[in-house]
Amino acid sequence: MSNFFFKNTGPYDINYLIKAVGLKNLNYAEEKVIDIKDLNTSIKTDITFFHSKKYLQFAKNTKASFCITTESLKSFLPSTCKPLISDNVLLHTAKITKIFYPDSINDDFDNSVEDIKNTKFKDTVNYGKNVLIGKNVKIGSNCLIGHNSIIEKNVSIGDNCSIGSNVIIRNSLIKNNVHILDGCVIGKKGFGFFPDKNSNFRYPQVGVVIIEDNAEIGCGSTIDRGSLSNTIIGKNTYLDNQIHIAHNVKIGDNCIIAGQVGFAGSSSLGNNVMIGGQAGISGHLKIGNNVQIGGGSGVIKDIPDNTKVMGYPSKDLKSFIRDNK
């Protein structure tokens, strides 16, 4: 998918990138790199990264020309992908991402916005007071936007959507029949830092938020855009109030998530998942289909399909009940 929200300053010669971020690889023949992407979406002209065996299957099948990885993981890459050995894969990936997308570090307000009364949407959208719209925004038919809401540049909103009051949407693709309630912030940068000597290096966030058809986002919820991949809310999924979705999280279809649940980055949920209030999901986990997670649970490991868990750390529901009689 083309990135409509951040300008790619590439291509760059691979040897320039190696030298710029302090990688210690031998010089390669001159070769242009067009973009940096994750293992799954990269193509022949891209650079990617591989830092954990959790992503082994994607690594074996990546189409990227180069991969930032470790000495112990390089053997899993296909012969068409040249390894760039790193002692801190994520930090070097962040630095190269910043070279390609320097604007992604900032999250300043969009100064292209104007009052909706002065845009082409003045007669096609039902809107409240003080609604601001950025450049190149797309809004479908039969949509409503509440008071004091801001839709920033390049955002796309489908048909039959309602956006509440005091909502900010940026770097997002909203499909049809989506309802975003009051006070939500959608598409801001995620919370990603790496210690780098005496300072913190912020991980660039160049992905988007995609909210699929018939989803509902409860009041005061926040959904961060992805870093190199996208943050996705599936079809017919309902989020209660005050839920936080971190960068790269993938939530499947027909999920029901109660209030104040928090998701750390890069976790994924299958379809038909139910989560009780104030549960916490750690990062880089895989939650299967038809899973039920009790309120207040702390999930720190993968959960297979058709499982019910509860507690901190979460355990099989029958075990939890037996242990807490």
Write the DSSP string, 257-297: E-TT-EE-TT-EE-SS-EE-TT-EE-TT-EE-TT-EE-TT-
Question: What pLDDT, on the 0 to 100 scale, is given for residue 300?
Answer: 97
Catalytic residues: 247
Q: If DSSP codes are grouped into helix, strand and coil, which group holds residue 310? A: strand
CB burial of 230-264 (b: ≥16 within 10 Å; e: otherwise) equals bbbbbbbbbbbbbbbbbbbbbbbbbbebbbbbebb
CA distance 102 to 257: 35
Q: Which two tokens stand for residue 257?
A: 């998530």
- Residue 130 region, left (φ>0) first, then alpha (ψ -120 to 50), else beta? left
Every domain of the chain and the residues it spans: 12-100, 114-323
Amino acid 258 reads: A
Task: Output the CA angle 249-271-259, nearest 5 degrees.
Answer: 60
Per-residue pLDDT tens listing for the chain (325 residues): 457 799 999 999 999 999 999 997 667 888 999 999 999 999 999 999 999 998 999 999 999 999 999 999 999 999 999 999 999 999 999 999 999 999 888 888 899 999 999 999 999 999 999 999 999 999 999 999 999 999 999 999 999 999 999 999 999 999 999 999 999 999 999 988 887 677 788 889 999 999 999 999 999 999 999 998 999 999 999 999 999 999 999 999 999 999 999 999 999 999 999 999 999 999 999 999 999 999 999 999 999 999 999 999 999 998 888 888 8
Give the separation between CA 291 and CA 60, rounded to whole angstroms: 29
Q: What are phi and psi of 104, to 5 degrees?
A: -75, -15
Q: Which residues are bridge partners to 35 per DSSP?
A: 46
| pLDDT score at 196 | 65
| CATH 3.40.190.10 for the 12-100 domain, yes or no | no
Structure token pair of residue 185: 């912030």
Residue 194: the pLDDT is 80
125 and 147 Cβ atoms separated by less than 8 Å: no
Residue 295: HSE in the Cβ half-sphere, 13 Å Cα cutoff: 6
State the Cα–Cα distance between residues 136 and 5, nearest whole angstrom.
11
pLDDT at 106: 81
CATH, range 114-323: 2.160.10.10
- Residue 68 is predicted with a pLDDT of 97
Going by C-alpha positions, the residue among 90, 88, 93 that lies closest to residue 66 is 93
pTM: 0.94
Assigned token pair, 30: 């001159």
Antiparallel, parallel or unpaired: β 132-133 and 231-233: unpaired
> No. of H helices and E strands in the chain?
4, 37
pLDDT of residue 2: 58
